[in-house]
């Protein structure tokens, strides 16, 4: 069933009309009325461009993407934020990345927020001395195996060289791997630049250092782009273990330095959040010959499909059989809850504006309980995440995806033999195994639904007034504006302190939560303060 949103063209025109001409011209290319010509042929969207200053964007910064997102969930790389205290503090576990040390003696630095806490004096006279002192202090207290240093905006502005400090301190402490990230918040246009910086450094300075660390099991693989928010990775770990797979390292949910440094020893990489980690997957394929493909563990159907695909990759009869048994076993409870919840949620509508992959992944879960998506968009994804296959092949040579580090990879590529020969890969593809199955968000959204890149608060509020969706999925900055209007709001970043939402148990948790939200009468009694007394909005704005 395809739900066509009425008068989208009129709505878009009204939004644009109120913008200054230059901004209207730009937003016109970022607010797209979805049209699916053939299977994959969707309209072009403008993405990954600078946000207009002054618009209330939902985006974050490069430091958040590097430190908070990609490295943050790693348990035993000691992480020092070089900057004023706020950056370190507000990226400290707010994302709800969980970890579970396996033994009493396992190191876990995630419970600490470490920062050089730069003051005015260092901003004026330089902060490298303080950074060296912070590393000395960290070594004296913890003697970690690895230290990551993360640059914040002022560090780039005053010219502190985190890489030079890392090299000097590594000479002083030769048994510790010390590396810096040039992830100043202003780099690029969003979190996305920080993902890239993180991928490069993890690849050049960590992956490939350890050939001996291994885990038991036959079918070794890594999951890239799964960050264990609300325990998602725990649920995925449970399922893949039951299937008989050997998960070596997750990048980076519930992960360790040993797992990262030996991650090149596996047969396969699967990629969950393509946006944040495609660079690492590409580079590992090039240097170590490890094939990769995309998976999605959000949604029961998507989870089954992903498990089957991983099992098929190994072409092992026992593995395939066990995987089918796990799917069958898990779906009993999932289907029971799903059908019950669907009976109360069917026909409701939702909008989603989230990050760089969840606005797509979570549509599956919502559709499973009969909810229609009226509008969706990413905060910082690139065109491939929207348009999928259509633009995917060109992305690899996109200027943003190539870098000096990658050139080093090419030079080094001869060291490793590919896990699959070109012929084997081609024959698997001929048999229908899709290594490059890149679905984009637009290909899976209803005709004439609204796809909005880098949606801002003005557009969101206009959209709510016009289309009255039953549910909004976004982040903390959006939450209270939406709830005060009497519309249920679900955070798809932090999960509102719940989870997991991935895998089978996660699907059950999510169905039940959406059922509770959509069928809770309390929201109907809510009236926004600015609706009752419009003059208040001005008071709030100026006080």
CA distances, 249 to each of 158, 264, 441, 462, 485 (Å) = 37, 10, 27, 43, 43
Q: Does 227 engage in binding with ligand CFN (CB under 6 A)?
A: yes
Distance CA 203, CA 179 (A): 11
Cis peptide before 91 (omega within 30 of 0): no
The yes-or-no answer on residue 522 being catalytic is: no
Q: Does 276 engage in binding with ligand CFN (CB under 6 A)?
A: yes
- Shortest distance, CB of residue 501 to ligand HCA, whole angstroms? 13
- For residue 250, give the H/E element and its range: strand 246-252
- Is 415 in a helix, a strand, or coil? helix
- Is 346 in a helix, a strand, or coil? coil
Per DSSP, the chain holds a count of helices (H) and strands (E) of 24, 14
Segment 356 to 375, residues that bind ligand CFN, using CB under 6 A:
356-358
How do 292-294 and 349-353 pair as beta strands? unpaired
Q: Does 60 engage in binding with ligand HCA (CB under 6 A)?
A: yes
- Shortest distance, CB of residue 68 to ligand HCA, whole angstroms? 5
The yes-or-no answer on residue 361 being catalytic is: no
Q: Does 195 engage in binding with ligand HCA (CB under 6 A)?
A: no
The yes-or-no answer on residue 195 being catalytic is: yes
DSSP state of 369: T
> Which positions ≥6 away from 237 have C-beta within 8 Å?
247, 250, 254
Cis peptide before 252 (omega within 30 of 0): yes
Among 355, 469, 499, 503, binds ligand CFN (CB under 6 A): 355
Q: Does 68 engage in binding with ligand HCA (CB under 6 A)?
A: yes
Segment 119 to 178, residues that bind ligand HCA, using CB under 6 A:
none
> Which residue is at the shortest CB distance from ligand HCA?
475
Q: Does 256 engage in binding with ligand HCA (CB under 6 A)?
A: no
Sheet holding 177-181, edge to edge: 114-115, 77-82, 146-151, 177-181
Segment 178 to 207, residues that bind ligand CFN, using CB under 6 A:
191
Q: Does 89 engage in binding with ligand HCA (CB under 6 A)?
A: no
Q: Which does 341 bind (CB under 5 to 8 A by kind): ligand HCA, ligand CFN, none?
A: none
Contact yes or no for 19/458 (Cβ under 8 A): no
Of 58 and 310, the one with the shorter C-beta distance to ligand CFN is 58
The yes-or-no answer on residue 493 being catalytic is: no
Which span sits near ligand HCA by CB under 6 A: 10-18, 144-152, 491-499, 515-523? Answer: 491-499
- Footprint on this chain of ligand HCA (rule: CB under 6 A): 60, 64, 68, 94-95, 191, 355, 475-477, 491, 493-494
Question: Which residue numbers are catalytic?
Answer: 61, 64, 95, 195
- Footprint on this chain of ligand CFN (rule: CB under 6 A): 65, 69, 95, 191, 225, 227, 229, 273, 275-276, 354-358, 493
């Amino acid at each position: 069933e395809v739900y066509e949103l009425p008068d989208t063209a009129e709505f878009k025109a009204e939004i644009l009309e109120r913008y200054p001409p230059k901004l209207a011209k730009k937003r016109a290319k970022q607010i797209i009325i979805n049209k699916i010509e053939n299977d994959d042929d969707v309209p072009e969207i403008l993405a990954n461009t600078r946000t207009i200053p002054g618009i209330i964007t939902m985006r974050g910064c490069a430091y958040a993407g590097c430190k908070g997102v990609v490295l943050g969930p790693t348990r035993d790389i000691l992480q020092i934020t070089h900057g004023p205290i706020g950056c370190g503090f507000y990226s400290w576990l707010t994302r709800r990345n969980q970890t579970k040390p396996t033994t009493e003696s396992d190191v876990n630095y995630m419970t600490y927020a470490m920062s050089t806490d730069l003051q005015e004096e260092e901003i004026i006279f330089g902060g490298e001395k303080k950074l060296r002192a912070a590393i000395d202090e960290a070594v004296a207290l913890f003697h970690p195996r690895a230290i990551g240093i993360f640059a914040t905006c002022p560090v780039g502005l005053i010219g502190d060289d985190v890489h030079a400090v890392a090299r000097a301190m590594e000479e002083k402490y030769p048994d510790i791997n010390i590396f810096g990230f040039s992830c100043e918040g202003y780099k690029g246009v969003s979190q996305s630049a920080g993902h890239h910086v993180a991928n490069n450094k993890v690849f050049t300075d960590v992956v490939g250092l350890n050939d001996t660390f291994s885990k038991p099991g036959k079918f070794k693989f890594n999951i890239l782009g799964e960050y264990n928010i609300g325990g998602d990775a725990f649920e995925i770990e449970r399922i893949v273990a039951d299937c008989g797979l050997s998960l070596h390292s997750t990048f980076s949910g519930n992960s360790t330095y040993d797992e990262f440094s030996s991650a090149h020893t596996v047969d396969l990489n699967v990629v969950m959040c393509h946006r944040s980690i495609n660079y690492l997957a590409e580079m590992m394929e090039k240097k170590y010959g490890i094939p990769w493909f995309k998976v999605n563990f959000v949604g029961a159907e998507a989870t089954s499909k992903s498990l089957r695909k991983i099992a098929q990759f190994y072409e092992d009869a026992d593995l395939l059989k066990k995987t089918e048994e796990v799917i069958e076993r898990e779906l009993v409870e999932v289907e029971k809850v799903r059908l019950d919840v669907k009976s109360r949620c069917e026909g409701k509508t939702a909008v989603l504006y989230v990050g760089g992959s969840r606005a797509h992944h979570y549509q599956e879960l919502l559709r499973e309980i009969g909810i229609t998506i009226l509008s969706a968009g990413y905060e910082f994804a690139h065109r491939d995440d929207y348009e999928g296959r259509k633009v995917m092949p060109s992305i690899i040579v996109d200027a943003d995806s190539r870098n000096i580090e990658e050139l080093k990879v090419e030079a080094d590529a001869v060291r490793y033999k590919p896990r699959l020969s070109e012929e084997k890969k081609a024959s698997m593809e001929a048999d229908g195994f899709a290594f490059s199955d890149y679905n984009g968000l637009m290909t899976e959204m209803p005709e004439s639904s609204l796809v909005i890149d880098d949606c801002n608060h003005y557009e969101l509020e206009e959209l709510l007034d016009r289309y009255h969706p039953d549910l909004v999925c976004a982040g903390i900055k959006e939450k209270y504006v939406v709830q005060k209007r009497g519309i249920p709001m679900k955070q798809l970043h932090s999960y509102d302190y719940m989870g997991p939402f991935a895998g089978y148990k996660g699907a059950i948790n999510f169905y039940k939560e959406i059922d509770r939200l959509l069928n809770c009468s309390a929201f109907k009694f809510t009236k926004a303060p600015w609706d009752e007394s419009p003059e208040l909005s001005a008071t709030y704005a100026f006080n």
